[in-house]
Structure 1
Amino acid sequence: MAQLLLKGHPIGNVQGVLFDKDGTLSHSEPHLLALADARINKAIKVAQEQAPGLKLSELNHTLYRAFGVDHGMLDPGGTLAVASRQDNIASTATVFCLLGCSWPQALAMAHTCFNAVDQDGRIDTTPSPLINGAGQLLQDLHQQGITAAVISNDTQSGVEGFLAHHQLSAGVAGIWSADDHPRKPDPQAVLELCGRLGLPPQRCALVGDAETDLQMAIEAGIGGVIGFTGGWSRAPELPSAQHLLHCWTDLTLSTTA
């Protein structure tokens, strides 16, 4: 067991720490903004071909709002930052519906947009950079025998690829991804992950950048609920956080007997 210190002050003893990925471990905003632009541009082309009656300027504006993009910045609580790919497909289809498409047509068009962007190969698929200090903390946890895991709405392959790219796989004992059920932010996802790890939730801390992550952790009985605010241009609002963390270097470990 180890004691977590925030700016040198003890905040709890833990056997394990659960981490969100995007916006917590990973500096994902540039990649997600590029992805939003590509998907919206593709949506406009698909609408021109399959639903020529749609107002394209309204489609453009509404999709940016749906994805949580405003003036070149991403809303840390928006669908693109927080939700899974399937959720983002559903929100895109909903926008098509609002502008006059039937649901079957809207859903088919949304899938076409997302798949076409994937196949274009124009979006850099290199895993996003680590946020400064995150890798060192994961290494410190591993060296001190504290279990680390990732709970994310990215796919299993996306999380694994990110960890492998940054040579962190050996220090992460478990992953709960969008391919697992239930997905975040269902509290059962936390309980299932803790069960896989053989850890009581009350002996774990969870670090996340979304209010839904923190509410999930509280409902699951996680002992330490830490809100991370340093991953986005616009800091997230995290009223449920027991502790707020802006820089990873402020979170350290002290071994306990």
Structure 2
Amino acid sequence: MSRLVIFDCDGTLVDSQANICRAVEEAFVEARVAVPPRDAIRRIVGLSLVEAMQALLPEAADADHRILAQGYKDKFVAMRASGMLDEEPLFDGIGSLVERLARDGWLLGVATGKSDRGLDRVLATHGLAHHFVTLQTADRHPSKPHPSMIAAAIAEAGADPARTAMIGDTTYDVMMAVNAGVRAIGVGWGYHEPDELTAAGAHGVALAVADLPHHLEL
């Protein structure tokens, strides 16, 4: 069976923190809730929206988490419609890495807390969409670290779980991979620290994009 590498998006493929932080801040302001610091907001990147709001405001009621999640969606849509979204740049070397892995015969996928629309926009902007055979988003799955996205990606790609790797920058990505029984590879340029990724169960942590092929020797 084929080998598959699944990438997280925010903090792994692209640096999207500016848009995420601004949308969270505006949603909290509108809800008249104290705005969390950006360090705290970056910590929740990768979670689905309700779970992210639970992490940011654990003392609030479930209904308030849903209101904040909807507020985030509304702010993001408004930012997109007004042309106020910042560019979400690829991290240096990611474009070349994706092309190299595709040439080397890897099947490629994405598992992300983004929506379908958000992920499609990122891949189209950077001309990468044609490289990916499976795209799994928060629109159809439970939040990370539930293994649903990885299981669906493996099934859709027709890949071998023993030859599948998940690459991500957060403990949620690593724990999702562990829960799915696939290789977990952390990256050191995103929103959680390398030692956290190792403690969460990462089989290895790449500190530079150029190091990733070494960690993919399955």
Q: What interval of TM-score do these two structures reach, taking the shorter chain for normalisation?
A: 0.7 to 0.9
CA distance in 2, matches of 1:174, 1:25: 15
CA displacement, residues 220-254 of structure 1 (integer Å, 9 cap, x when unaligned): 221x321112124x63511111111121122237x
Shift of 1:112: 6.3
* Residue 196 (structure 2) pairs with residue 208 (structure 1): no
Are the equivalent residues in 1 in contact too, given 2:46–2:114 (CA < 8 A)?
A: no
Deviations 1:172-193 (A, max 9, x none): 1110111123443212331221
Pair member with larger Rg: 1
Aligned partner of 1:11 in structure 2 is none
Letter in 2 for 1:248: V
CA distance in 1, matches of 2:69, 2:161: 37
Does residue 147 of the first structure (1) align with residue 107 of the second (2)?
Answer: yes
- How much has 1:212 moved relative to structure 2? 2.3
For 1:131-146, list aligned pairs within 5 A. Answer: 131-146=91-106
Work out which of the residue numbers 161, 179, 186 in structure 2 matches 1:227. Answer: 186
Structure-1 residue corresponding to 2:24? 36
User: What is the one-letter code of the residue matched to 2:28?
Assistant: I
Number of residue pairs matched by the alignment: 210
Alpha-carbon separation, structure 2, partners of 1:88 and 1:73: 13
Q: CA offsets per residue over residues 35-73 of structure 1, 9 Å max, x none?
A: 2222222222xxxxxxxxxxxxxx41xx51xxxx3xx43
- Tell me the secondary structure at the aligned position of residue 5 of structure 2: strand
Aligned: 1:73 with 2:39: yes
Alpha-carbon distance, 1:209 to partner: 1.2
Q: Does 1:117 align with 2:75?
A: yes
* Residues 6 and 109 in structure 2, CA contact (< 8 A), matched pair in contact too: yes
Q: Percent identity?
A: 24
Structure 1 residue 17, shift from structure 2 partner: 0.6
State the alpha-carbon separation in 2 of the partners of residues 115 and 188 from structure 1.
Answer: 23
Amino acid in the other structure paired with 2:26: A
Gaps of 5+ in 2: none
1:197 maps to 157
CA separation in 1, counterparts of 2:150 and 2:110? 10
Give the distance between the partners of 1:123 and 1:38, measured in 2 at CA. 16
Match of 2:9 among 6, 15, 21: 21
Distance 1:89 1:15, change over 3 A: same
The one-letter code matched in structure 2 to 1:230 is W
Amino acid at match of 1:235: E
Q: Assess, with a 3 A threshold, how the Cα gap between structure 1 residues 15 and 230 changes in structure 2: closer, same or farther.
A: same
Q: CA deviation at 1:119?
A: 5.5
